[in-house]
Structure formats: structure tokens, C-alpha cells
A and B are shown apart, each in its own frame.
Chain A
């Protein structure tokens, strides 16, 4: 097996106890780690060996379920995809920003999913369905491929300064999920979807800071998708 030896990592976690209230506080832990351990392994080491009260979400452990987005050394990332050895220490771990914190690293995801639901994130086509599949050329299929990769982890939306500053902005993830249908040749509801995104909470709030693109653990070109949605709004609106 390759890689240098592990060692001991110092990890500072921003903790919040809803029962105690008050301001969040930093708590420092030291955990041994193997060369290939990820930040999620360190959080498990804390929870399972030192402090069972630490709360965080996780499930698949390899970057596909989207449960464990957090701010790691100042950057939004999935804890299961960041190796400890690649980080400078002490490693800081905080909840993603712009959503109310429930406890420790667990935030309220409802506002995020509300914004998602508002863009009609589903295929609409009321034409009578054929007996077999609807046809779609490989080129038409490729048109929206990038945005189908979204796992709704909220890393993009909660890295966006416009979203932090303004509880109203739909945010990158909602726009990405609108993009996925706006550019799907089978869909018939893009005017409604674009109307949602053309008003004051929509795509034109984007200031092309590119934080979202950097934060995306699925390498989606988020900012480009937002730009394409903006252009489509302008193109369709007379």
C-alpha cells in the first residue's frame, strides 16, 4: 500500500448544543489516523471512541448520498471525500453556512429542499405517452447530462455569498435542478420553471463568484449551468 504513515490529527469541531443554547463553541479533539483516512473517519473516531454526543449526518461514505457536506478548513466538501493527510492542521470542521444549525454539524435542510421544490424539479409532459420510450437523440441527452449528477448535498448553495446574505435567493442547487429539465427535450414546463427563476429570488441574483463550482463534489459546472439558465430566460422572454 502506498502513502506515508498516518499519525495523530488535531481536529477542531464547531459544536452547538440546542439544549444548552448560547453560541456555538469550538471543541478540540486529537485522533490517530491512517494514511488513507478521511475526515468522516476522524469524526467517527471521535464519536465512537471519545465523545458519543457529537452529531453529524452521513450514510454511504463514498460521495454519492450527499449527507455529509460540511465546511472543512474553510471549504465546503463532503467529509467522506476529503483525506486527512491532504489537510493542514489543526483541521477545522463547521456546519455548512446559511441554514439554521440544529445541533453540531446538523443543519435544517428544509429551506434548501423548499427552494428545490419551487423550481418544479420533475419532468412535465402531458402529451399521451407512447407504448414504448419517448425518443431522444444522444445529442439531446448529452445537453443536460452535467446537471443530472446533482446529489442535493447543498455544498454549492451554502458556499454562495448571495445565499448567505439573502434568505430569498433560490441558490445554485435549485437552479442546477431546473437546468436539468429546462434543457431536457422531453420536458414541456420550462416556461413555468424559468418564470420562477426570473423573478427576484432567481438566477439573476448570481454574481458569478464561482464558489459553487469549486464546492461541487460531483464536478458539476454549476456557474455555467446558472449562466445557461439566465440566457434561456432572456432568450424566451420577449
Chain B
């Protein structure tokens, strides 16, 4: 028997989006946050660079310029009304954080300081603008801490180390959630009027990734299994400067401060790919350039499989002061001294632009005509509003979680006051229990790490920076075999109840497999190149046919695709040149 809890609002995930929603909802309705990590362990804490808002504290700026940059960066796939909402509310989002104690860096006159960041410009691309508010090189860490501190102050109720396993749908709306308590192995049913998914990304379907081990997309996978579509799954951002071998991120700040990328011959190859802004081209373009350098035999190292991020000309003082992360990560993890030598880097799976489709109030929508699915909300990386379209600009993820986390919280309050509880089926935890029972009984206790390794390796090979129909077809086949083995054979070694992370890793792998399948199906269908989705066999953007969002449903063992229009606005799609 599961333990049952009753709340007006339940939030899954305690990163920036979940905590921001909780601060809003818990003021007005009975709210709980369930999170598979202690809140301060969430991956929001890994974000370094900043959070953009047109405060104009340092130089002239307007939220409309910010919106233009966001739309252009998205390769015109973002919904422009949603981008307007985000960029307009960015200013208050920063001020709210400051009032809560966020330790932003300051200007000499004591205001929030701002600095330049990739893709952010004044007057529609005229020149770089100082728009990114920041706290040293740990902006995400400070946002996460500040939000958690305020949750402690407000007495928000947390269920830490609880894993989301299932969502209970009854009469076409959310009736509750089922979660697994890691400490005891017990199932819990959270009966609720409203539920917000804020579970973050799912970069762990790739081998080389900047994402935390916990980022397995449990929220989107559960929504998908309960009949909801996922939007724009083919758009995944590969950050150009992941540390070779492990994928840990070296911030864009390294190139912002003057660092350059070089191939094996020492050539600054970005001069060939983006003659005007070179190493500061958008992330998708730089990642592709690295891919081609390696593919064409100009990679560095014994296996010729990486390029070098060179900061040696910047001088010790600047490197130590402004790029402490790069020096620390390179020294600790690669034993490389960036003051003297190039740091080996490769593109690393970084950010899912796609996810659970929502409207501008974080309400989940379930079809091509944006019909609201009552009682369900999503915010942050696991959601797709869409404000990032085909490629997210740096700093806009921290902004997204604050703006849409808040909006999600407000929507939950509004709807929880209006809605009643949906009727709860008999034994609501039955399906979740069945999933765990099957994994506990699977005949291959070593299968999970093996399947996961094959998933990650094959996704890197076939469905990452460079895609073709042939590669994606190969990946569809590979996923079919992995799914079959997972469904029929995968088991666990640990049979105990307390802290059975073996069992939870097995559950998480199932989520990754489901999401990888939607990504590959949507990527194979989209016969164009746009933002983070690059097709070697269709290297140009095709607005006539593809200026639209994909929706992917799970349909038995297959994926069914649909499409919905992009909401355009002031900016007409033009070729993206830098």
C-alpha cells in the first residue's frame, strides 16, 4: 500500500523553475515539492555565465532588442509572443531575485552589473551589448541558493529524494502523481489539483554531456507515457567547448574574453566558418565547425578527435581572475595547464530546446491546436514554450526558469482555487508498481549499465551534431534493439529497499530510451537544417516546408508525429548570418 498525501499543488523538481514556482504557489495554496535530489544539488547550480535582462544599467538596452536576439538565435523557430513575455519580464525577474538576496556583481554606483554574452546585441545586431547580469562565474549556483533560501524562509514543504514514477490521469486531467521514496523504497501517491513538472533536461541520453547524472528526463517521459506529446525534440544544443572525454562545460566566457579554437595545425579555423564573429558564432555553428575539422582529419591529439581551446595569449592575470573555472577544470580533470597549452575540447550535449509543450502561462497543451490539458504545468528545460526554438542563446535558460517558473506557480494558484480534485482510480500506484516489479525480476542484472552505455554511444555517433537519414535510420534500429532488451531482459542486482539506486537507475534508463526514440523520429522526419538540428543530406533551412514545431506522441511501440505553426511576430525569418 502506498502512502497518500493531498495537496493543492505539487511541483516535481527543485531546480530554478520548481523553486520559483513553489515560492509563488506556497503563498496561497497547499504546496509540496518533490525532488529526486536535495534541492541545492539541482543542475541549475552548474550554470555559470549569467542571466540576461535589458536593465540598461551599463549601457542603452531595451527588452525588444533582447527579443530580437532571442528570435534570431532560435533560427526563427521560437514563438515570438512567448519571447516577448520572457524578455519583458526579465527585468522584474532580476529585481525579484535581488530583493531576495541574490549576490549579483555590482557597478561602481551599486547597481546590478552587466556584461557581454554570445549572441546578445544592441539595435538588432549592431554590436555586442552588456546585458548579462551575473554573480562571478557562479550565477546559477547563486540563483539556486537564493531561491532555496527563500523557500526555507517561507517554510515550503519538501519531499527530498523522491523519484517521480507516474502521473495519474482521470477524466482527461491530472488526479495526482506517484513517487518512490529512495530512503525506504516505499511508493507515495500525491493527490493534487495541479501538478507542475520541472525536472530539467535529459542530456544523459548522450555519452559526452555537460548534464548531471540525474538529468534523465523523468518528467517528460512520464507525460509522454500518459498520452501527451513532446514538442521539438529534434532540437538539442551541443555546446562547443566540453572538456575532452567527459563533457564538462568550459563556459563561453573563455571565448568572450578572447580565447580561440585551433585545430591540429594550429589554425584558427572559425575564421573559415564565421568570418565576421569567428569564435563567438552561436553554439550550434561552432559545434558543427569542430565536427567538420575532426571529420576532415584536422583534429588534435593522438586520435585526432578534438580541437584546442587556446587562452595562452590572454595572460596569467586575466585567466586567473576571469576564467577560474577553465583553469580549475582543465588542471584537475585533464592535467592540462591552460596558461601554457591548449585545452582539448569537443562539442558536448548541453540543452534540450524541446520538451513538454506549454502555453505562456506554463499550462501544458496537448495537441496541434494548443488545447490545455487541465491540471498539468511544466517549466524550465523540461518544457517547450517555445522561447528557444531551434537554438537557445546563452543566459536565456536561467531567465526562462525564473519567468516561466513564476508563471507556472501563478497558474497553479489560479486553477487550484477553481478546480476540484479529480476522482482517484482504485490503486493508483498499480502501474508504477508493475514497472518496478518487472525491473526487479528482469533476468539480466547487468543489463542496465550496458544498455545505457550503448544508448549513449550510439546517440553520439548517429544523432548528435551531424545527422543524415542513414545515420538516423541506423539509430532507430539500434534503439529498437535496446528497447527490446530493456523491456524483456533488464534487471537489477540490488534487491534491498533502502537507497536502492540500482533500481532507480534502471527506471531512469527507461525514460531516456523513450525520449531518445522521440528525438530520433522527429529528427529523421525534419528534412532541413535549423539551429541545433543539422542534416548533412539537407544542409539548408527550408521555411516553406519546415517553419513549424514538431509534436511527437508515443503510439504503442512507435512514435506518431504532428506539427503546429510557429507564432511569428515582428521579425520575419531571414537567413541567419554572423
* Chain A interfacial positions (CB closer than 8 Å to B): 1-3, 17-19, 35-36, 38, 47-49, 51-53, 55-56, 58-62, 64-67, 81, 83, 102-104, 106, 109, 113, 117, 120-125, 129, 131-138, 141, 144-145, 148-152, 181, 184, 186-187
Contact code string B92-118 (vs A, CB < 8 Å = 1, else 0): 001100111101111111111000000
Contact code string B521-536 (vs A, CB < 8 Å = 1, else 0): 0000000000000000
Q: Which residues of A contact B135 (CB under 8 A)?
A: 148
Assuming A1-B344, A51-B493, A52-B445, is B98 touching A65 (CB within 8 A)? no
A140–chain B nearest beta-carbon distance, Å: 8
What separation, in Å, do the CA atoms of A193 and B136 have in the docked complex? 26
Q: Is the CB of B502 within 8 A of A1?
A: no
Assuming A17-B496, A65-B41, A67-B41, is B332 touching A83 (CB within 8 A)? yes
Q: Is the CB of A148 within 8 A of B145?
A: yes
Q: Is the CB of A59 within 8 A of B214?
A: yes
B window 335-373: CB within 8 A of A: 335-336, 344
A164–chain B nearest beta-carbon distance, Å: 22
Q: Is the CB of B501 within 8 A of A109?
A: no
Q: Is the CB of B501 within 8 A of A55?
A: yes
Which residue of the partner chain, among A61, A121, A124, A133, contacts B212 with CB atoms under 8 Å?
A61
A194–chain B nearest beta-carbon distance, Å: 17
Q: Is the CB of A49 within 8 A of B493?
A: no
| Interface membership of B159, Cβ < 8 A | no
| Interface membership of B497, Cβ < 8 A | yes
Q: Which residues of B contact A83 (CB under 8 A)?
A: 332-333
Which residue of the partner chain, among A2, A133, A138, contacts B335 with CB atoms under 8 Å?
A2
Q: Is the CB of B497 within 8 A of A148?
A: no
Which residue of the partner chain, among A104, A109, A131, A149, contacts B38 with CB atoms under 8 Å?
A109
Q: Which residues of B contact A184 (CB under 8 A)?
A: 101, 103
Q: Is the CB of A134 within 8 A of B98?
A: yes
State which size class the interface on B falls in.
Answer: 35 or more
B31–chain A nearest beta-carbon distance, Å: 18
B526–chain A nearest beta-carbon distance, Å: 31
The interface residues of chain B, by DSSP majority, are classed as loop
In the complex, which residue of chain A has the Cβ closest to the Cβ of B99?
A129
B380–chain A nearest beta-carbon distance, Å: 16
Would you give 30 A-B contacts (Cβ < 8 Å), ordered by A? A1-B344, A2-B335, A2-B336, A18-B498, A19-B496, A35-B335, A36-B245, A36-B334, A52-B448, A58-B213, A60-B41, A60-B45, A61-B246, A62-B333, A64-B45, A65-B42, A67-B37, A117-B152, A121-B149, A123-B146, A124-B153, A132-B95, A133-B94, A134-B99, A138-B108, A148-B145, A150-B145, A184-B101, A184-B103, A186-B101
Assuming A36-B334, A60-B45, is B103 touching A133 (CB within 8 A)? no
What separation, in Å, do the CA atoms of A237 and B103 have in the docked complex? 27
Which residue of the partner chain, among A38, A66, A133, contacts B41 with CB atoms under 8 Å?
A66
Nearest 8 A-B pairs (CB), nearest first?
A123-B101, A52-B493, A135-B110, A48-B449, A122-B149, A122-B153, A52-B502, A133-B98
What separation, in Å, do the CA atoms of A3 and B337 have in the docked complex? 12
B window 108-153: CB within 8 A of A: 108-112, 135-136, 138, 141-142, 145-146, 149-150, 152-153
A129–chain B nearest beta-carbon distance, Å: 5
Q: Which residues of A contact B334 (CB under 8 A)?
A: 1-2, 36
Assuming A121-B149, A122-B152, is B111 touching A133 (CB within 8 A)? yes
B94–chain A nearest beta-carbon distance, Å: 8
| Interface membership of B275, Cβ < 8 A | no
